[in-house]
Amino acid sequence: MNDVNWNNLKSSGANSLCVLGLLLVSSTIRADYLPGDLPDENVATLDYPSQQGIKGETYSFAKSKYALAKQVYSDYFIDFYGGCQYQIKEKLLVPVWSSCGFTPRKNPERAKRIEWEHIVPAWTFGHQLQCWQNGGRLNCRNTNAKFRQMEADMHNLVPAIGEINGDRSNFAYGMITGESRPYGKPNAEIDFSAKLFEPDDKRFGDIARAYLYMSERYGFKLSRADENLMMAWNNLDPVDEWEKKRNTRIANIQGNDNPYISNYKHLQRETNSSTQSEQNTLPDNKLGQGDWFDKLYQWVGEHEKTLPFPIVLMVAVFYWWFRGRKSTSKSTKKASTSSSKKSTTKSKSS
């Protein structure tokens, strides 16, 4: 029998366990920051959905996409962000670039199709849920009834050119300096470094009323800055005839309207409104954005297939360590504050 180098075996075994542990950590953390973009599922088509969802379930993203294409947008073939006309080709909704002067920024293949865009991104209303942290958007769809309802809500879904939908991702809406026009003539700007997307001002009100509706119906709070932005956009861009017709059609199918459209009025903040709980409030003008390292982590996740695996793994592990330190630091500060308050109370009583 050959001599066995037990030290080498121990070393290789330890390394294997470490790698396995890192993989587990990586997969756990990635779920929390998955952007939630499922490009192939977003495609707009007239095919009847093969995925019927959970048996007996009322809400289904697949069913909503079909209903939107067949019933809501049956006579209105205009994409949301570019204002481009689209047509039906072999049951697919296909944009006509020449109708609006659209030119692809980087991804002409994805720009050849219309996709259903969530105005409030699935990541925004889903990533804080436990189901998302345990497996991302698909896991939430399979296990969380409220998420299924939010994902399938047709008041939050609009047709968009696939490339613009993919670029927007879960970026915040906001104002961008200058008019870069990365998609040709369509009035849409994007700042990848700031993770900010500016739509055509003709869509300001549509976006605002979708955000305010989703926030009120599903109970997630907008920050003060974002609520102010949405109120301003609502006032700048009143409800038009197509928005009213779309709202009525969706209400007939889904069973509820968007009251910010049905009962449109100019909005202003109530001066005596109470401070909202930060736990359910989205960060100021960063609808679902984190700090710089969160942004790096998200970028790596989006480019995972093109990056070397060791880099992806290293960033995931460091991200876990970094967040752990932040969490520990916050806990320590809370404990310190609590201790100092108790000491102050004791000294006063004595």
Q: How far apart are CA 140 and CA 237, in angstroms?
A: 34
In the block, which residue shows the tokens 């390292």? 293
Distance CA 168, CA 117 (A): 9
| Token output for 330 | 């916050």
pLDDT of residue 18: 45
Q: What is the per-residue pLDDT for 30? A: 40
Q: Where are the domains of the chain?
A: 30-294
Block residue for tokens 């009834």:
145
pLDDT at 316: 61
Entry pTM:
0.70
As a whole number of angstroms, the distance between CA 79 and CA 163 comes to 12
Distance CA 49, CA 91 (A): 12
Q: Given CA atoms 126, 142, 93, 250 in this order, what sign does their dihedral have?
A: negative
pLDDT of residue 239: 98
Q: What is the pLDDT of residue 324?
A: 53
pLDDT of residue 207: 98
Full pLDDT tens readout for the chain, 350 residues: 444 454 554 444 444 444 444 444 444 334 333 455 565 667 877 777 765 544 455 788 999 999 999 999 999 999 999 999 999 999 999 999 999 999 999 999 999 999 999 999 999 898 888 999 888 888 999 999 999 999 999 999 999 999 999 999 999 999 999 889 999 999 999 999 999 999 999 999 999 999 999 999 999 888 888 999 999 999 999 999 999 999 999 999 999 999 999 999 999 876 544 444 444 444 444 444 444 555 555 555 555 555 666 675 676 666 555 555 544 454 455 455 555 554 554 454 54
Nearest residue to 281 via CA among 228, 206, 219, 327: 219
Which residues have a Cβ under 8 Å from the Cβ of 256 and sit 6 or more positions away? 217
Amino acid at site 123: W
Asked if 200 contacts 81 with a C-beta cutoff of 8 angstroms, the reply is yes
Backbone φ, ψ for residue 161 (5° rounding): -60, 135
Phi, psi of 58 (to 5 degrees): -75, -40
Residues 281, 271: Cα–Cα separation, whole Å: 18
Question: What pLDDT sits at residue 83?
Answer: 96
Which pLDDT value is given to residue 205? Answer: 98
Please give the Cα distance from 304 to 110 (Å, whole number): 19
Q: Which of 124, 115, 130 is nearest to 165 (CA)?
A: 115
Tokens of 177: 């300096």
User: Which pLDDT does position 251 carry in this prediction?
Assistant: 97
**Bridge partners (DSSP) listed for residue 173:** 197
pLDDT of residue 247: 98
